[in-house]
Structure 1
């Protein structure tokens, strides 16, 4: 009987494999013809070649066991370039994988992006390259995770020398907050300072956009095992503006910027390595856990900031760092190891819209109730400064 059941299962599996189809496409038109036919387990192969300005939306539904795979015929040999005025690939379905595509010398003419995972469930962007692309509108990301989806992943991608852009954005609004986005094993390199007058809009990773009004949204994103090298787009290499996110085992080298808790609460920053550059970790907000990080060759390793307001109930353009745990971090060759109370009495009058962002304009509330213990310092001029 066991042999009969085993044979039956083998036959069923083989039959399902036979049912799965593989489509090869050479144009946007061919791809759009295929989309209505896609079923779980199917794949779409984009033929090697150079392409421009597609607008593909895939709402198909794969399953965990049978994903829908959209891939380059050969990784790195399917290249999109030139002027773009629309999102090239929008995934709105379930269990769809986009793999092996290169985006090089694209010029994004409108505020959109190259790839968007919108309301998708368990979709993945993997092994893609984003090389020397340029945006023409400030705050434009190359890759966007948006809507009310969950469990999406961006992994093993390369972001190199992109200009005036955000590389990867988890978009949060009043109505939607993607859940459990996983960003891992990506490489971000050689990002030059943005040309925008206010110097903003050049983050490698941004999770949330409005810390004043939406910082309490819990995105529960995980950013781990990524590498950030020579990323100088702006002062925030990673910008956290939501709650409940984790930043684990990332590597930072010679960046003109920091890992910044700009807004939000209850995030975990653990096991990261910082080597050189202008800064390490900057902290606003409540309840963050900052542990087991190694920070070396940086002027100030960890900064706990003054705020205009405090706690999770008050609204402020900056929230004072409070109830954070800073433990077991190794700091070496720094001017200041831990600075408690940076930006004291900084005056933001006229620098942001107080109607849109209701807030006092002076950073007058000092960090409070933070637990700092068990950190080690070597070749550091001053271990801790309290202001």
Structure 2
């Protein structure tokens, strides 16, 4: 009988294969026609070339044994650009080998597993496909790259890079029964290079939303590599029940896996490789029934919500969009190596006042030769049971019962090292807990503490290195360093020609004259250095009081002013330099070094609303006789947690006779999802100056350091420095000298 069935299946398949068609299409019209006639087993081949402004809709239906393939003729050679999108609403369709780049999908998702809101995809697959820098032109125009509806769909061996505008990269949607208990598989993908968004909605993956948090999604996120995913504090945001996050590597990502809403989720056998990068975290635990088991946290140095692990306090009678209390949670057999302290009862405040209960924290190991403190506690700990946890004897903190110290040894496994002990340990895993573990398909909990399993670690690391993302797309190709072309500029026209020429992308403009008279503003459309070999002052002239700026730094570009002496008394526009005013999603960089500026009458540098600078550095610069503000990052007044600069360093500078604000940075609102801004103001000298506003004003800045500065006769009768914060921040102010200078207005987040 069995042989007869097998023979019948072979016969049927052979019959289908004999009639299956290969349909080659060269445009979207032909593709639409092919979709209408495609039968199980057919292959629709997209001809190599550039497909511009196409709305691809696939509603055909294959079968489990005979899916319909929609393939690039050559993987990576079908380039989809312009305002294009892909909609999948059929069954058993495999999409293979597409490249989305140089375009955007407006408010729609780039890949949408639904057509016209009424037909969702089932058992469909997107594989070997790339979305790279496919962003809406404006940063705050929000969209997803992938909207995952339906059930039993798979996304695998794809590469997703450089999402810059607002919106989750991959969203699992649970808006009706057709998309719940979906068992989607997201595996063997590369998620990389998401710069800090400077606002909320910078997640890589989100499963559900708060209003659907009680529904089961059962999505599986396994065997992926997340690298430099720094969009916001949540890399994966889980807002539903029954999901599995397993065997992933999170490499140098500022954020972590956040079990934000929903119950009974599992985080298993992942590697969080922080490599001592600021803000690198691990797992944040909220809600009921979460299991975090057999994970490795290596050199993760995030703090607060970004701690390597944080177990949160909850809100009494919490609405869905806040923090339900933590209960029935298991954290077991994890290893922490040279990490910052983990957090218990994190976020405790007047609202989040319910501490965790029925939490089992067992068999975890902590190794350190850098950190003296293992954990922070912020509320009542009686609801957490500690047992079988082992810490190296480097920690000098008095540990609670349930922690023992021991001499831990390190076992090198690829680029990480796992701690283990030669000691003999009693089994602290109860029979009931072991039964639950087996029901959740979690391997038997080990009575030895820690996550040491060399074979599993090798497999996870090897997979991340060799089997994540598309083979044909080399992510390193997008980071090729280009040299700067040096151009001598004697006149203003020379400067304009250097910038507008199509011959070079990176230019170094060398000013060789002593006077430059500008008739119109200049837009910096290339990565540009402006410098001079002259020691004498160079006069810039731009007599237009109605103009918004002299120099506008366009989106995605960097500007450096270095080794230069400029007199800008005759620059009478509203600002000397501004960033892109188009609200672009592309980021900027701005550097000033070894320079001298005198007679500033217009705002020296102003960040335009919704523009983001990754880095601003001002080093070894002298400003003399300023009648205007120097550095303004204070246009984000929407109270949504937006801000303009991620990292600002102002060091070793001299400010003489400054009658305006030196630095003002605003991040308004109470959003807690972002890391920045981070401001460093050190080793500067401020001599003489008065203004009606504070010399330095920080509102909503997350991290700041003001250290080793000298303030002399600065705002003597006014405010020198002012701090304002609506959410928790960390400010350090120390080792400064204040000589006949104004007041410092501090808050509880300022330490000296």
The reply to whether TM is greater than 0.5 is yes
Gaps of at least 5 residues in structure 1 are 347-361
Shift of 1:262: 1.2
Partners of 2:179 and 2:69 in 1: CA distance: 25
TM-score normalised by structure 1 residue count: 0.87
Which residue does 2:552 correspond to in 1? none
CA 17–371 in structure 1, closer or farther in 2 if over 3 Å, else same: same
Partners of 1:74 and 1:83 in 2: CA distance: 22
CA 250–5 in structure 1, closer or farther in 2 if over 3 Å, else same: closer
Which residue does 2:287 correspond to in 1? 285
After superposition, give the CA deviation of every residue in 1:306-337 in whole Å (9 maximum; x if it has no partner).
121369xx74611122211000000010121x
Partners of 1:56 and 1:249 in 2: CA distance: 33
CA 45–315 in structure 1, closer or farther in 2 if over 3 Å, else same: closer
Q: Which of 322, 335, 339 is the aligned partner of 2:343? A: 339
Partners of 1:194 and 1:138 in 2: CA distance: 12
CA 342–236 in structure 1, closer or farther in 2 if over 3 Å, else same: same
CA 30–320 in structure 1, closer or farther in 2 if over 3 Å, else same: same
After superposition, give the CA deviation of every residue in 1:198-246 in whole Å (9 maximum; x if it has no partner).
x11111111112x2x2210100000001111111111111111111101
Partners of 1:383 and 1:33 in 2: CA distance: 63
| 2:108 is equivalent to residue 112 of structure 1 | yes
Shift of 1:12: 4.8
CA 296–36 in structure 1, closer or farther in 2 if over 3 Å, else same: same
Partners of 1:9 and 1:258 in 2: CA distance: 47
SS of match in other structure, 1:286? coil
- The range that moved more, 137-146 or 36-45, is 137-146
Gaps of at least 5 residues in structure 2 are 115-119, 302-306, 379-752
Matches within 5 A, 1:301-316: 301-309=308-316, 315=320
Q: Which of 358, 361, 368 is the aligned partner of 2:357? A: 368
Which residue does 2:477 correspond to in 1? none
CA 384–51 in structure 1, closer or farther in 2 if over 3 Å, else same: same
Q: Which of 325, 328, 331 is the aligned partner of 2:333? A: 328
1:309/1:315 contact within 8 Å kept: no
Partners of 1:139 and 1:152 in 2: CA distance: 24
Partners of 1:273 and 1:27 in 2: CA distance: 43
Partners of 1:220 and 1:5 in 2: CA distance: 33
Which residue does 2:640 correspond to in 1? none
Shift of 1:94: 0.9
Shift of 1:385: 2.9
Partners of 1:374 and 1:12 in 2: CA distance: 54
Query: Number of residue pairs matched?
Result: 358
Partners of 2:8 and 2:223 in 1: CA distance: 42
CA 243–230 in structure 1, closer or farther in 2 if over 3 Å, else same: same
Who wins on radius of gyration, i.e. which is larger? 2
CA 215–292 in structure 1, closer or farther in 2 if over 3 Å, else same: same
Shift of 1:81: 1.4
CA 12–152 in structure 1, closer or farther in 2 if over 3 Å, else same: closer
Partners of 1:374 and 1:31 in 2: CA distance: 56
Matches within 5 A, 1:2-13: 12-13=12-13
Partners of 1:310 and 1:223 in 2: CA distance: 31
2:86/2:111 contact within 8 Å kept: yes
TM-score normalised by structure 2 residue count: 0.46
Partners of 1:258 and 1:97 in 2: CA distance: 31
Partners of 1:170 and 1:180 in 2: CA distance: 11
1:308/1:316 contact within 8 Å kept: no
Shift of 1:11: 5.7
Partners of 2:291 and 2:3 in 1: CA distance: 54
Q: Which of 176, 188, 191 is the aligned partner of 1:188? A: 191
Q: RMSD between aligned alpha carbons? A: 2.3
Which residue does 1:177 correspond to in 2? 179
Which residue does 2:91 correspond to in 1? 94
1:177/1:217 contact within 8 Å kept: no
Partners of 1:240 and 1:5 in 2: CA distance: 44
Shift of 1:10: 5.9
Matches within 5 A, 1:116-195: 116-118=112-114, 119-135=120-136, 136=138, 138-146=141-149, 149-164=150-165, 165-173=167-175, 177-178=179-180, 179-194=182-197
After superposition, give the CA deviation of every residue in 1:20-69 in whole Å (9 maximum; x if it has no partner).
11111110111111121011111100000011221222222111110000
CA 316–91 in structure 1, closer or farther in 2 if over 3 Å, else same: closer
2:241/2:263 contact within 8 Å kept: yes
Which residue does 2:82 correspond to in 1? 82
Shift of 1:256: 1.4
Shift of 1:7: 8.3
Partners of 2:264 and 2:10 in 1: CA distance: 48
The structure, 1 or 2, with the larger RCO (C-alpha pairs under 8 Å, 6+ apart) is: 1
Partners of 1:13 and 1:232 in 2: CA distance: 47
CA 71–373 in structure 1, closer or farther in 2 if over 3 Å, else same: same
Shift of 1:177: 3.2
- The range that moved more, 135-144 or 98-107, is 135-144
